[in-house]
Amino acid sequence: MGTWRRVASCLALAATLGGLLSCAGANLWTDWTSVSTGHSNRGRLRRPVKMPSEGPGFRVPTRWRDRGVNYGVEELVLAVQRAAALVHGSTGDALLGVADISPLAGGRSRWHRSHQSGRDVDLLFYTVDDEGNPLGPSDDDMIHFDAEGKAYAPKRTVYDEEGWEGRRFDPVRNWLLLEALLGDPTIRVQWVFVSDDLREILLTHAIEAGRPAWAIEYARVVLRQPADAPPHDDHFHLRIYCSRSDRFHGCDDRGPVWHHEKKSFKYGGAERYDPVLWRMATATPYLVGLH
């Protein structure tokens, strides 16, 4: 029996029994919210939520808005909006640039091998000028940043934006964004892909700024330069774990799963973490094939 016929049969029976029956089963939606199925690089998306073109503290720049790859699971879309609003409210005028999430029904797109199940999103870095003033996201470019946080253009890279050389990576706002996402109780962050050099800038800033120990230790695990993709020195690639309800419907986390949840760090700390899983989580070779 097809999925829709099973759904219709279940709903009809539930109505007959006065709503006492709960429609449950793989690929039958029990709450009518978004559902992620499959892997991040071989998955689908049902009843997705679209990222608005703009909102408090964020904007989807023209290049990525025109692609139409702006759909994700509800918990991811809302968590990004909350994090952007928090950074905006804490530091002033800065806007987060939100790039690709997933196509309307998930699956492949011409731009990504992953981003197939609504649990991945690319986020442009917050940047400032030489005087520390926040700059808005570029409408056309992902600007690359070196080990000193200065903008540069790799070989054969031509930016459309004038004055891109004046951008600087902003560790203050980029860290606040990460901390907000890591601490959001509605999602569990699996990875934040970013270059090793920018990872070091972020962690150094967090330590010097006295940010919470649980957030720093959590970030040490999830901030990773992928081994099978470009270094991600031009954007964050955030991936969240499958929600517990979506696992029931076929959502599957790729790679070793060590469940580095917020509370494990907040209340237990890295020293109480399982030592075997901790070594796995911090070993770069395990990232091969995860992007």
- Check: pTM over 0.75? Answer yes or no: yes
Query: Is the Cα torsion angle 195, 109, 261, 175 positive or negative in sign?
Result: positive
Q: Residue 228 — pLDDT band, cuts 50, 70, 90?
A: confident
What pLDDT, on the 0 to 100 scale, is given for residue 146? 97
6 versus 96: which is more confidently predicted?
96
The rounded distance, in Å, linking the Cα atoms of 154 and 151 is: 10
Residues 245/122, Cβ–Cβ less than 8 Å: no
**Range with lowest mean pLDDT among 56-65, 102-111, 177-186, 232-241:** 102-111
| Per-residue pLDDT tens digits for 251-264 | 888 766 655 444 44
Task: Give residue 18's pLDDT.
Answer: 44
- Residue 107, pLDDT above cutoff 50: yes
C-alpha to C-alpha distance for 280 and 285, rounded to whole angstroms? 9
Dihedral sign, Cα of residue 215, residue 115, residue 196, residue 276: positive
CA dihedral 24, 106, 81, 268 (to 10 degrees): 60
Distance linking the first and last C-alpha atoms of the chain: 35
Question: Which amino acid is present at 216?
Answer: I
What distances in angstroms separate CA 229 from CA 50, 61, 134, 238, 249, one per listed residue? 26, 23, 29, 14, 29
The residue among 53 and 41 whose pLDDT is bigger is: 53
pLDDT at position 80: 97
Q: What percent of the chain has pLDDT over 90?
A: 52
Task: Write down the pLDDT at residue 251.
Answer: 86
In whole angstroms, give the CA distance from residue 16 to residue 21.
9
Q: Is the pLDDT of residue 269 over 50?
A: no
- Cα 263–chain centre separation: 19
Question: How far, in Å, are 118, 238, 239 from residue 254 at the CA level?
Answer: 14, 14, 10
SS3 50: strand
43-77 exposure pattern, b = at least 16 Cβ within 10 A, e = fewer: bbbbebbebeeebebbbbbebbbeeebbbbbbbbb
pLDDT range class, residue 22, cuts 50, 70, 90: very low
Q: How confident is the model at residue 258, as a pLDDT?
A: 54
DSSP 3-state of 237: strand
Tell me the mean pLDDT in the region 105-110. Answer: 66
Tell me, what's the pLDDT at 183?
A: 93
Q: Is 170 left (phi over 0), alpha (psi -120 to 50) or beta?
A: beta
Q: What is the mean pLDDT of residues 86-112?
A: 83
Which residues does residue 72 pair with via DSSP β-bridges, in sequence order?
49
* Beta pairing, strands 58-59 & 54-55: antiparallel
Q: How confident is the model at residue 47 (pLDDT cuts 50, 70, 90)?
A: confident
In degrees, rounded to 5, the angle at the alpha carbon of residue 243 between the alpha carbons of residues 198 and 282 is: 35
How many of the other CB atoms lie within 10 Å of CB of 215? 19
Most confident of 26-40, 65-79, 193-207: 193-207
Q: Is the pLDDT of residue 6 over 80?
A: no
What would the mean pLDDT of 63-79 be, rounded to a whole number? 91
Closest CA to 191 of 181, 200, 206: 181
How would residue 59 be classed by pLDDT, with cut points 50, 70 and 90? Answer: very high
Residue 247: band (very low, low, confident or very high) from pLDDT cuts 50, 70, 90: confident
